[in-house]
Amino acid sequence: MTWEVLSIIGTIAFAISGAIVAMEEEYDILGIYILGIVTAFGGGAIRNLLIGVPVSALWEQGHLFQVALFAMTVVFLFPNKLLKHWHKWGNFTDAIGLSAFAIQGALYAVDMEHPISAVVVAAVLTGSGGGMVRDLLAGRKPLVLRAEIYAFWAIMAGLLIGFNIVSNPFGLYTLFISIVLLRVCSYTFKWRLPNRSLYKKSSTSNMNNLAN
């Protein structure tokens, strides 16, 4: 039951997220549906390929495709006055999708009795794979590759589930809410992972050379 609920939540959230990005990029209605579908199901397809699940399993989720199409249609028909809030709501729905799909991916791998490394990989790919494909198709730098904390929350979900620290439905729903809140805090308060920029370093060196 938990698995099914998380699948529905993640599908709706990522379908809306993909539709929002498509509208921000001024795609037509076909582009909106394509980007929404890719965002909602891309991560699961990549996960299935890597952990040994037949790709055909994706086509057995007909009800989820219907849910995604309905969610995107509702978003497309929203009044124009609400469009100015898309960026904020897009980040929020993306956080929900990340959390729901990361947990669902980890549960999938645990159910197949894969080792902890595969559980973490399944959590990361399911939680962020669709978003990566979405950003690439929209010509954007994928969130998961930025300094902004994103995939780390999926890794945390994979570790907690893989080591059986969280396993019962109450714990899984608590983990789901926690990851959503942490993701929201990470982009609200601009939390960042450590990073180094060779570009900035080389630019500083060039300025010093010119000064000399």
What's this model's pTM, rounded to 2 decimal places? 0.83
**Distance (Å, whole) CA 27 – CA 22:** 5
| DSSP characters over 110-161 | HHTT--HHHHHHHHHHHHHHHHHHHHHHTT---GGGSSBS-HHHHHHHHHHH
Residues in the chain: 212
pLDDT (average), residues 110-133: 93
134, 42 Cβ separation under 8 angstroms: yes
* 209 band by pLDDT with thresholds 50, 70 and 90: low
Q: 1-34 pLDDT, tens per residue? A: 677 888 888 899 899 889 988 988 999 999 999 9
91, 189 Cβ separation under 8 angstroms: no
Q: Which residues pair with 148 in a beta bridge?
A: 192
Joined tokens for residue 181: 């809140």
Q: Which residues pair with 38 in a beta bridge?
A: none
143, 62 Cβ separation under 8 angstroms: no
pLDDT above 60 (res 72): yes
153, 97 Cβ separation under 8 angstroms: no
What was the pLDDT predicted at 116?
Answer: 96
Taking CA atoms, 183 is separated from 80, 105, 131, in Å, by 27, 18, 14
Q: Which of 2-16, 109-123, 166-180, 196-210 has the lowest mean pLDDT?
A: 196-210
* 205 band by pLDDT with thresholds 50, 70 and 90: very low
Residue type at position 139: G
Nearest alpha-carbon partner for 118 in 99, 105, 104: 105
127, 151 Cβ separation under 8 angstroms: yes
- Helix (H, G, I), strand (E, B), or coil: what is residue 194? coil
* 207 band by pLDDT with thresholds 50, 70 and 90: very low
Residue type at position 195: N
pLDDT (average), residues 135-156: 86
* 92 band by pLDDT with thresholds 50, 70 and 90: confident
**Which of residues 211 and 156 earns the better pLDDT score?**
156
